[in-house]
Structure 1
Amino acid sequence: MIYTVTFNPSLDYIVKVDSFRLGEVNRTYSEKMLPGGKGINVSIVLKNLGIQSVAMGFIAGFTGDEIQKRLNDFGCESDFIRLQSGLSRINVKLKSNEESEINGRGPRIREMDIKKLFDRIDRISDGDVLVLAGSIPNTLPEDIYEKILDRLKGKNILAVVDATRNLLVNVLKYHPFLIKPNNHELGELFGRKLQNDEDIIRCAKELQSRGARNVLVSMAGEGAILVEETGKTYKSPAPKGVVRNSVGAGDSMVAGFLAGYLANRDYQEAFRTGIAAGSASAFSEDLASKEDIQALLRQIETIQRRS
């Protein structure tokens, strides 16, 4: 089974406004509400690809009820921990001549709630996949990712970590199966701007030397690079299309990579499916559908590079 963890889920209220004017009354011409959070996005795209997962995390109040309901409406399973007080956050995504976001803070998570999460984590068994994705609220300890992976030490778990800075660096000692920084995040880890593919590959291999098994680096319109554990390196340009959505593309890439890998344990196929899924979400108003992913797969030619 695949488990995804979203520590601070949200209801994403997505509105479109013609020529937004600050300080004035603006009327929307389009609006929708979706369950949000990086792990939740992974679960939805996996479900679109016909793969079941269990979404975990913390929810609170009537907004938490709505997050769970909408996720279940997608056909996803969930095992959220319900907090006794507070409200799950609402994030406003405003799309106009520019995109703007207002993200809520989220409810307070107490020690007893963290223990409940650990109890669920302890049930994960050999052969399962665990996806830890996104930032953490300030009511959680900064080493929560480390504590989770330490509890799973000794089990044959495929751990996927999609996070930034210390959240990512500090878990490399647990040898995660996959990490997915983008090229800018990768540069931040090394305190410099990466100028070319060779820089990206060199830094990715450095993260491998610190413990990561596979490093998937997304580069927006430039495609992606995979440095995988056997030593092979792949690069592929992004498929052609019009970018309509900046939310969830990276999460979709993670879901696509997992789906491709679990199908036949082939890294090149996993890489291709990851790029197709990430691009399909970027080219759509919603998260990637199976049909859109399959259509883009036919465009993608993976280029193998010598290590």
Structure 2
Amino acid sequence: MIYTVTFNPSLDYIVSVEDFKLGLTNRTSSELLLPGGKGINVSIVLKNLGIDNTALGFVAGFTGEEVIKRLESLGVKSGFLEIPEGFTRINVKLKSIDGTEINGQGPSISEDKMAKLMEKLEELGEGDVLFLSGSIPASMPSDTYQRIMEHLKDKGVLISVDATRDLLLKVLPYHPFLIKPNNHELGEIFGVELKTRESVVPYGKKLQKMGAENVLISMAGEGAVLIAADGQIYDAPAPKGVLKNGVGAGDSMVAGFMAGWMERKEYRHAFCMGVAAGSASAFSEQLAVKEEIDQVYEQVIKIAGGKEA
């Protein structure tokens, strides 16, 4: 079975406002309401690729009910635990001003609710796949990902972790199958500025030596790099296309990589699927569907290179 975990999901209210003016009433020219959160994005792209999966995490209130309703309408199974107080956050994203958004806080997660999620995760075993993606609420311990991986060690679960700085570094001793920092996050960890595909390789190798099996580094318009467990380095420039929506591109890359790996157990194919899925979502108004990913894959497979580490 395949599972994603989103500790702090959201309803994303994505709007465009022509000629936005501070201090005045502005009216939208377009609106979207989508279930959000990094793990949820992974779940949606996996399902778009025909891969059944279950989304886990916590929801609360009427907004939490709407997240589940919208996820299930997309074919994603819900294993979310309900929190009795508060409500799942609403994130407002102003599409017409790139990068401008207001993110809500979300409900507090109690220790007993976390224990119930741990019970669900304890059922995972050999051949199962788990995605741990995104930040954790302030109400939860900072070592939450570490605790999950401690519980699952030696069970044969393939675990992908997409998180920043300390959350990521703390899981490396447990040998996650895949981690996906972007070049800025990688640079923050080591106190350097990384702009080219060549420059990220030494630092990706450092994370591999610290315990990660595969290090997939996304670099937006510069492309991507994979330091693979088989000793190869794969890289690709960004595919050609028109950027329409950067939200969820990194999550799509993670989903595409794991989908490719499960399909053929080949790192080159997995890497190209990851780049294709991430780029296809960036070129689409919403998260990419299979046909869009397949089209970009045909471009990526021609431009991706590989060499010995």
Fold similarity call, TM over 0.5: yes
List alignment gaps of at least 5 residues for structure 2: none
SS at match of 1:23: coil
1:112 aligned onto 2:103: no
1:230 aligned onto 2:230: yes
Q: Which moved more, 1:194-203 or 1:72-81?
A: 194-203
Q: CA deviation at 1:155?
A: 0.3
List alignment gaps of at least 5 residues for structure 1: none
1:273 corresponds in structure 2 to 273
SS at match of 1:28: coil
1:46 corresponds in structure 2 to 46
SS at match of 1:149: helix
- The percent of aligned pairs where both chains have the same amino acid is 58
1:65 corresponds in structure 2 to 65
1:305 corresponds in structure 2 to 307
CA–CA distance in structure 1, aligned partners of residues 227 and 98 of structure 2: 34
State the aligned residue count. Answer: 307
CA–CA distance in structure 1, aligned partners of residues 59 and 185 of structure 2: 28
SS at match of 1:193: coil
Q: Deviations over 1:174-215 (max 9, x none)?
A: 000000000110011101112533331101111111100000
1:175 corresponds in structure 2 to 175
Contact 1:159 1:177 in 2 (8 A): yes
CA–CA distance in structure 1, aligned partners of residues 157 and 308 of structure 2: 29
Q: CA deviation at 1:97?
A: 4.2
CA–CA distance in structure 2, aligned partners of residues 97 and 54 of structure 1: 33
Amino acid across the alignment from 2:199 = D
CA–CA distance in structure 1, aligned partners of residues 70 and 194 of structure 2: 40
TM-score norm. by structure 1 comes to: 0.98
Q: Deviations over 1:115-159 (max 9, x none)?
A: 111111111111101100001110000000000000001100101
TM-score norm. by structure 2 comes to: 0.98
Deviating above 4 A after TM superposition, structure 1's stretches of 4 or more consecutive aligned residues are none
CA–CA distance in structure 2, aligned partners of residues 221 and 240 of structure 1: 9
SS at match of 1:147: helix
SS at match of 1:298: helix
Q: RMSD in angstroms over aligned alpha carbons?
A: 0.9
1:12 corresponds in structure 2 to 12
Q: CA deviation at 1:304?
A: 1.1
1:15–1:117 distance in 2 versus 1, CA, 3 Å: same
2:147 corresponds in structure 1 to 147
